A = this chain, B = another copy of it.
Amino acid sequence: MSLCGKSFQSCRLCQSFESGIFSDLPEKDLKLLEQCKTANHYKRKQVIFYEGNPVVGLYCIQSGKVKLYKTSGGGKQQILKIAQEGDILGHSALFTETPHMATAEVMEEANICFLDKTRFILVLQTNPSVSLKLLGQLSRELNRAEEQVLDLAYKSVRVRLVEFLLTLKQNFGVYEQGVYRLQISLSREELAQAIGTTVETVVRLLTEFRTEGLIEVEKKSIAIREPEKLLEFIEAPY
């Protein structure tokens, strides 16, 4: 269990290393990493860590999809991010003395590597380049969160849903038979939690978009017919 082993590919081939924060790590440190990480398999609905849990290390997603969300006093949840292969989890609580700031729950079967906190910090201290990469990553996430603040403050629910559908197309869209099919299964509730509204409103807007011929909806599978027209939708009314 403590080595990458059989069913899991080597770190070298993992997205987190190819394009991610470890990309230009020297060979010897890479070897060190490969030796001290553990790989786990998670099923749908499994929780990797809860908001409030103590922080024990860093998670790298090798495959699968994971949603990160915060829970408010009233029990409502706000989805902050949908992470997939190559993304890392838990990094934002590693450097504060605080527990995890959000819950990470698996949406699609996932293989996830775990790296011990102290070992990871050791790597950081000996490889400034990793720190810089991580600083860049956190900065981008901060920017994204601040953009979301702006959206919630000033944009209508309709516009927020359109924008969210388009980012889903960006991240999970596959072009087939004239439409961009979203290779991700989200419940209406999850859609609502992602854009900060209620289930009912999401349903109404989706049926509206569907009857306008902008999207196709079949159970949980959504496909985007006219990305340009969706865009027009949001340009007129700020």
Interface, chain A (partner B; CB < 8 A): 70, 72-74, 76, 78, 80, 91-96, 98, 101-102, 121, 124-126, 128, 131-132, 134-136, 138-143, 145-150, 152-155, 196-197, 238
Q: List 11 A-B contacts (CB under 8 A).
A: A72-B238, A73-B238, A91-B139, A92-B139, A95-B135, A102-B146, A131-B131, A142-B142, A145-B148, A152-B153, A152-B196
**Complex-state Cα separation, A136 to B91, whole angstroms:** 10
Secondary structure at the A interface, as helix, strand, loop or mixed, is helix
Q: Which residue of B lies closest to A149 (CB)?
A: B148
Whether the pair A70, B150 counts as a contact (CB closer than 8 A) is: yes
Q: Which residue of B lies closest to A81 (CB)?
A: B146
Whether the pair B131, A135 counts as a contact (CB closer than 8 A) is: yes
Whether the pair A96, B131 counts as a contact (CB closer than 8 A) is: no
Whether the pair B149, A196 counts as a contact (CB closer than 8 A) is: yes
- Chain B residues lying within 8 Å of A96, measured Cβ to Cβ, are 136, 139-140, 143
| Min CB gap A197→B, angstroms | 8
Q: Which of B78, B131, B141, B142 contacts A128 (CB 8 A)?
A: B131
Whether the pair A143, B92 counts as a contact (CB closer than 8 A) is: yes
Whether the pair A124, B128 counts as a contact (CB closer than 8 A) is: yes
- Chain B residues lying within 8 Å of A150, measured Cβ to Cβ, are 70, 72, 78
- Chain B residues lying within 8 Å of A124, measured Cβ to Cβ, are 128, 131-132
The interface centre, meaning the residue of A78, A91, A132, A153 with most chain B CB atoms within 10 A of its CB, is: A153
**Complex-state Cα separation, A132 to B134, whole angstroms:** 10
- Chain B residues lying within 8 Å of A131, measured Cβ to Cβ, are 124, 128, 131-132, 135
Whether the pair A142, B138 counts as a contact (CB closer than 8 A) is: yes
**Complex-state Cα separation, A49 to B98, whole angstroms:** 32
Given contacts A92-B139, A95-B135, A101-B143, 6 further A-B contacts (CB under 8 A): A70-B146, A76-B153, A95-B132, A102-B146, A124-B131, A145-B146
Q: Which of B70, B78, B92, B139 contacts A95 (CB 8 A)?
A: B139
**Complex-state Cα separation, A146 to B74, whole angstroms:** 17
Q: Which residue of B lies closest to A102 (CB)?
A: B146
Whether the pair A146, B101 counts as a contact (CB closer than 8 A) is: yes
